Amino acid sequence: MASTLFSRTFLAATHRLITPSLLPQKPLHLASFLTRRGFFSQLGSYSTAYRSARAMASAGIGARAGYSTSSSVATNEPVVSVDWLHSNLREPDLKVLDASWYMPDEQRNPIQEYQVAHIPGALFFDLDGISDRSTSLPHMLPSEEAFAAGCSALGIENKDGVVVYDAKGVFSAARVWWMFRVFGHDKVWVLDGGLPRWRASGYDVESSASGDAILKASAASEAIEKIYQGHSVSPITFQTKFQPHLVWTLDQVKNNMEDQTYQHVDARSKARFDGTAPEPRKGIRSGHIPGSKCVPYPQLFDSASQTLLPAEDLKKRFEQEEISLDKPILASCGTGVTACILAMGLHRVGKTDVPVYDGSWTEWATQPDLPMEGEDSSS
């Protein structure tokens, strides 16, 4: 079934470029699509060579000379450059994941865009598919067992390093970076600038997927579903180690609203935060959680290259909003996606333990008894 639908929707386009505006707007189920196997060089301890490469990469400069299979990348650095990935793309212990995802009002289909153009060998990581099936909230963090099953179906092992990218630059990739860290896998990085920077650097993309890849994508989605139906899945090649301090629940946020132990930072736009612009999801009022502050996630990127700002510039962004980097920080957003960009930026400045409120504003705003602030919160 998967291969049949794939043939109808994609094979006719493999020899021509299709722009996003020409792609079908109706979402297509993951079981119809898949990906190719990724490759990698295992990344270990921090090296002196990488220090200079990191500085170059953060400035948007190619740092190929500083990266090689013998130069390792630190887990306290959240991103790698496109030049580094290009140099290490075919290494056996690297998995590259296309984690593209879009807001509901964007009317874009990430699975089909992946099929048209992706980094060679990249797998497709479905943010909505690898999620908690027991809640109506969108793409909530799955259980440990479910995440392990999904990653195993994709062929990911604990020995692998993982590089995640998306088609917007850095957007949904940060969410998957956070997910792997929540489940104890620190050898994970976001591709700085994502697919746009990869293509702008002149690197090739591929527009085909093997039958094996199609089966893997289908298997990952099916494995998650089986776990939530109470069935066992095997083999499991990816072991999890849950890090509860990196994910917060509604009750934790409620308690923090009273004691203010953590500074609460919201990644949404100022207009949504203030309640002057509507939320992208119908039926959700705009506004914000009392006591929170707003740092819109685009402010963490260089406007020209769409790469993560250097650490000193990131510090200034947070300090401008009177957020102390010497005190604990909690991040939230609309549905727990762009909050992970804040966590990623704070990771670069040394705050590697920033929790994300998984349900974020969508969960908070649908609870009738919870307080809200902003112009729309009283309606």
Catalytic residues: 333
Beta strand 263-266 pairing with 188-191: unpaired
Residue 191 φ/ψ, nearest 5 degrees: -75, 115
Q: How far is residue 185 CA from its own chain's centroid?
A: 14
Closest listed residue to residue 55, CA positions, set 21, 81, 90, 27 = 81
How large is the angle between the packed helices 211-228 and 144-153, nearest 10 degrees? 160
Nearest to 194 by CA among 41, 289, 104, 85: 85
The four Cα atoms 299, 307, 182, 329 give a dihedral, to 10 degrees, of -30
Assigned token pair, 203: 């690197």
Reduced to 3 states (helix: H, G, I; strand: E, B; else coil), residue 262 is coil
Contact 374/286 with Cβ under 8 angstroms? Answer: yes
